[in-house]
Amino acid sequence: MKKLITAILFLLPVSAFAAGGGTTYPNDPANIDLSDKTSLQNGAKLYVNYCLGCHSMEYVRYSRIAQDLEIPEEQVMNNLVLGDQKFGDTMDKSMDSDLAKKWFGVDPLDLSLAARVRGEDWVYNYLRSFYVDPSRPFGVNNTVFPEVGMPHILADLQGLQAKSDELLSVEEQIAEAKAVLNDSEASEEAKAAAEEKQHEAEAAMAKLAAEGKMFVQIKEGQMTPEEYDENIRDLTAFMAYTANPVKLESKRMGVWVLLFLFVLLIFAYFLKKEFWKDIH
């Protein structure tokens, strides 16, 4: 028992770290549904069309996707498998790593496990938070991943958004407060006031995010904001599935285990009755 408690205590800070790491905004819940096959299938299609060019999924085989997401082999071959890849192959990216390094400064990561490493909500919000920033190499930046090196691949679908005036003003307040807090010559009173101001501004930021007022649309995309969010939810669901494929399996198994236990319970009940019959 003691050992178990020690083990749990040992693991706690790790999981806390994985979940936290400072709040980024927006932080809307992804609300994915892994039992929704249509959502996962749409996510797989989006991934292949928009992400696989740069991000491989080394741990994922097309054949496994076909089986888990219930897509016939023929459809997988026609719609998901690109180039000369085969049904049993893992999902390789089409871009050459050296070329990618030259273009982006980094080789885009393999994303098989991204939804587990970063968290589903992080991925969901990241893909919705590109905004126009002319100072960046690709003309966009990201509030969830500042100074990101990835272009806004889904700009055709989402359109373009810019930071709202409210967000800019809150960010300015936070920056001003931080400047005072970092200033070694500032008085104690000034620091206390700055700390207060920072808290207020952070609360205002959380409110803006919750109300969906961080960005304003400056160019329409092919999708409405609602459609875009829905598709990003599907894409995130697909990535959550690849990060943990056994989750689908364990759900299926879980039902059978429960059924088995139920049947066992009935037998145990009658067995007990049989045993105690003659004892009274």
| Binding residue numbers | 51, 54-55, 205
Smallest gap from Cβ 22 to ligand HEC, in A, equals 15
Q: What angle do CA 25, 27, 31 make, to 5 degrees?
A: 160
Residue 147 region by backbone torsions, left for phi larger than 0, else alpha for psi between -120 and 50, else beta:
left
Q: Is there binding between residue 108 and ligand HEC (CB under 6 A)?
A: yes
Q: Which is nearer to ligand HEC, 91 or 123 (CB)?
A: 123
Smallest gap from Cβ 139 to ligand HEC, in A, equals 14
Q: Is there binding between residue 59 and ligand HEC (CB under 6 A)?
A: no
Of the candidate spans 72-80, 103-111, 209-217, 241-249, the one that interacts with ligand HEC by CB under 6 A turns out to be 103-111
Binding-site residues for heme c: 51, 54-55, 205
Total binding residues toward ligand HEC, as defined by CB under 6 A: 22
Smallest gap from Cβ 126 to ligand HEC, in A, equals 6
Q: Is there binding between residue 51 and ligand HEC (CB under 6 A)?
A: yes
Q: Which is nearer to ligand HEC, 173 or 244 (CB)?
A: 244
Of the candidate spans 33-41, 57-65, 118-126, 169-177, the one that interacts with ligand HEC by CB under 6 A turns out to be 118-126
Of the candidate spans 30-38, 53-61, 201-209, 216-224, the one that interacts with ligand HEC by CB under 6 A turns out to be 53-61
Report the site for ligand HEC in 140-179 (rule: CB under 6 A): 148-151, 153-154
Site residues, ligand HEC (CB under 6 A): 50-51, 53-55, 104, 106, 108-109, 111, 114, 118, 123, 126-127, 148-151, 153-154, 235
